[in-house]
A and B are shown apart, each in its own frame.
Chain A
Amino acid sequence: MNKIIEVQNVSVSYNNLKACENISFSIDKNQIIGIIGPNGSGKSTLVKAIMGLIKIDDGIIKIMDKPIYKIRKKIAYVPQRSNIDFDFPISVEEVVMMGRYPHMLWWKKANNKDKKIVKDSLNMVGVYEKRKNQIGELSGGEQQKVFLARALAQEAEILFLDEPFAGIDIASENKIMDILKKLKKEGKTLFVVHHDLNKAGNYFDIIILLKNKLIELGEHDKVLNINNLEKVYKDKISIINNNLMVANI
């Protein structure tokens, strides 16, 4: 079984507006997949549908050959930073411990194994020294790493990252990308919702280009051609020195 995710004829709508229309694809495991498209193109909706957070109108979604509700533990979610309240009275360590919750019985507290896994996850992303800090005291890049560490602590097979590079500096972006590549080496499959096309080439093995429908799926060169991009971004693209450029939206 190599196909880790199979999406067949999936449609999702909000208030009669189709956010995703008849989308089908399947993905091999052990890759970094970029989900790319402009605002309102149904990226987040598709991710939410795969993760079983919203109802789909139509279609079938299978993860490791199973329906989502049988396999929730295996899927971790790394939220967009703007969706998190960084004034929340919680420490870095406690956030990462949340990754262990799906593995704990509902009334039980963390045991030594949980604590060890949290420690290892913090070390892996390099924020162990800040473990006692309140999360708002960290930089944007560090905060993103904390949520990555939480996904690691969950021991998930599939990670969904929502705009992980939004609002962080380029050094942190590179470090986070290094971590993602390392995770791929360990056999994980990573989905990254991303709006910046300009870097998509180096970052992703497979790109899913969306504009409410699936425009194209495949490797960088196959997907990011002028035809596809015109369909998706209309007049926001230009070609500079033989490189496709898309105005940041």
Chain B
Amino acid sequence: MENISFFIQSLGKYQYLQNAIIAAILVGIICGVIGCFIILRGMALMGDAISHAVLPGVAIAHFLGFSLIIGATITGVITAIGIGFISQNSKIKHDSAIGIMFTAAFALGIVLITANRGTGVDLWHILFGNVLAVSTSDVISVFYISLIILLGIFMFYKQLLISTFDPIMAKSIGLPTKLIHYVLMLTLSLVTVISLKTVGIVLVVAMLITPGATAYLLTNKLPKMILLSSVFGISSAIIGVYLSFIYDVATGASIVLVASTIFILSFIFSPKQGMLKNKFNIIKNKNLIESSEFNG
């Protein structure tokens, strides 16, 4: 209790903490929502790839002094296109193409940053986040990007749903399924940029996948899954920032660990598909069979 009241007091006192928690909450929401579609499209690995591939764009944008968002989306989308090109034009399988392209982009980013030491770009902060550095203008841009992405998902919900569930039908009624794929990749790049300072490039995939997967275990309805996923994203953000503040550990990792803990709890206790429920069903069925054997 003491810790919590200390945290709340500090939250009132320090601007940086307010910025950190607002940014983390926004990241929790937006990753939670997008993550549902990533999971259902079977693109978790792709999410990991695009988030890493953002690195060279971020580095170049830093050195040349233009917007990180532009740099990140350019290298993110180029990598996505490269992955598609390799897997469609050779016998290399999709996951191998992903592995080749994103590590190449990531390595390029690391080389660029280490070649330009002394320019004030901290590799560690980009990879793992630096929540103390979230400025008010960062929060504002995170807010607007989140708003645009959420609006986009709301307006194109039908198209997203059908191209995720049945891509052949989507194509047959004339939806541009390829464009939808690449817009989603572009969105992933954007999401990575806005998550840069809170969780960093390396761990952002956890915010995309874990809350969505947790929700997936708990419901059979997509709108509910999206809602639950963002609720888990928000709670991970708040609890994670709190724990990192109290115990003085890295914020991004702390947020991710909270999300993982929620996942494990739902994996064990989910009333529909949880481990306990399954065990219980097996025991129940066994008893039924045994009792019917007695009767018979």
Contact A98 B165 (CB under 8 A): yes
Instruction: Flag whether B5 is at the interface (Cβ < 8 A).
Output: no
> Interface segment, B105-113, B216-224, B279-287?
B216-224
**How many residues in B have their beta carbons less than 8 Å from beta carbons of A?**
22
Instruction: Flag whether A79 is at the interface (Cβ < 8 A).
Output: yes
Question: Which label, helix, strand, loop or mixed, suits the secondary structure of the B interface?
Answer: helix
Contact A90 B173 (CB under 8 A): no
B162 proximity list for chain A (CB < 8 A)? 98, 101
Instruction: Flag whether B168 is at the interface (Cβ < 8 A).
Output: yes
In the assembled complex, the Cα of A89 lies from the Cα of B161 at a distance in Å of 10
Chain B nearest CB, measured from A12 CB (Å): 16
Q: Given A89-B216, A101-B158: A73 and B171 within 8 A (CB)?
A: no
How would residues 151 to 169 of chain B score, 1 for a CB under 8 Å from any chain A CB and 0 otherwise?
0000110110110011011
How would residues 58 to 99 of chain A score, 1 for a CB under 8 Å from any chain B CB and 0 otherwise?
000000000001001101110100011100111100110010
Instruction: Flag whether B137 is at the interface (Cβ < 8 A).
Output: no
A107 proximity list for chain B (CB < 8 A)? 155-156
How would residues 236 to 261 of chain B score, 1 for a CB under 8 Å from any chain A CB and 0 otherwise?
00000000000000000000000000
Chain B nearest CB, measured from A85 CB (Å): 7
Contact B222 A89 (CB under 8 A): yes
Q: Given A106-B158, A134-B220: A51 and B172 within 8 A (CB)?
A: yes
Residue of A nearest to B40 (CB): A88
- Please report which residues of chain B, range 90-127, place their CB below 8 angstroms from some CB of chain A when the two chains form the complex: none
Chain B nearest CB, measured from A200 CB (Å): 24
Residue of A nearest to B222 (CB): A89
* Residue of B173, B222, B224 with most chain A CB atoms under a 10 A cut-off: B173
Q: Given A104-B158, A106-B159, A107-B155: A75 and B221 within 8 A (CB)?
A: no
Contact of B171 among A53, A76, A83 (CB under 8 A): A53
Contact B168 A98 (CB under 8 A): no
Contact B165 A88 (CB under 8 A): yes
* Residue of B156, B161, B219 with most chain A CB atoms under a 10 A cut-off: B161
In the assembled complex, the Cα of A210 lies from the Cα of B155 at a distance in Å of 43
Contact A75 B172 (CB under 8 A): yes
Contact A89 B219 (CB under 8 A): yes
Instruction: Flag whether A187 is at the interface (Cβ < 8 A).
Output: no
Q: Given A69-B174, A89-B222: A53 and B165 within 8 A (CB)?
A: no
Instruction: Flag whether B46 is at the interface (Cβ < 8 A).
Output: no
Contact of A84 among B155, B166, B216, B225 (CB under 8 A): B166
Chain B nearest CB, measured from A175 CB (Å): 23
Question: Which label, helix, strand, loop or mixed, suits the secondary structure of the A interface?
Answer: mixed
A-B contact count (CB 8 A): 61
- Please report which residues of chain B, range 168-214, place their CB below 8 angstroms from some CB of chain A when the two chains form the complex: 168-169, 171-174
B169 proximity list for chain A (CB < 8 A)? 77, 79, 98, 150
* Residue of B155, B174, B225 with most chain A CB atoms under a 10 A cut-off: B174
Contact B172 A85 (CB under 8 A): no
Q: Given A101-B162, A106-B156: A91 and B173 within 8 A (CB)?
A: no
In the assembled complex, the Cα of A95 lies from the Cα of B166 at a distance in Å of 10
Instruction: Flag whether A52 is at the interface (Cβ < 8 A).
Output: yes
Chain B nearest CB, measured from A247 CB (Å): 29
Residue of A nearest to B166 (CB): A79
How would residues 33 to 73 of chain A score, 1 for a CB under 8 Å from any chain B CB and 0 otherwise?
00000000000000000011100000000000000010011
Instruction: Flag whether A102 is at the interface (Cβ < 8 A).
Output: yes
Residue of B nearest to A95 (CB): B165
Chain A nearest CB, measured from B261 CB (Å): 23
How would residues 208 to 221 of chain A score, 1 for a CB under 8 Å from any chain B CB and 0 otherwise?
00000000000000
Chain A nearest CB, measured from B190 CB (Å): 21
Residue of A nearest to B36 (CB): A89
Contact B220 A52 (CB under 8 A): no
Contact B168 A77 (CB under 8 A): yes
Contact of A72 among B166, B174, B222 (CB under 8 A): B174
Q: Given A89-B216, A90-B222, A91-B221: A102 and B165 within 8 A (CB)?
A: no
A51 proximity list for chain B (CB < 8 A)? 172
10 contacts between A and B (CB under 8 A): A72-B174, A77-B168, A84-B165, A85-B165, A89-B40, A89-B220, A90-B161, A90-B222, A94-B222, A101-B162
**Apart from A85-B165, A134-B221, what are 12 other A-B pairs with CB-CB below 8 Å?**
A53-B171, A53-B172, A72-B172, A83-B168, A84-B165, A88-B40, A98-B161, A98-B162, A98-B169, A104-B158, A106-B155, A106-B159
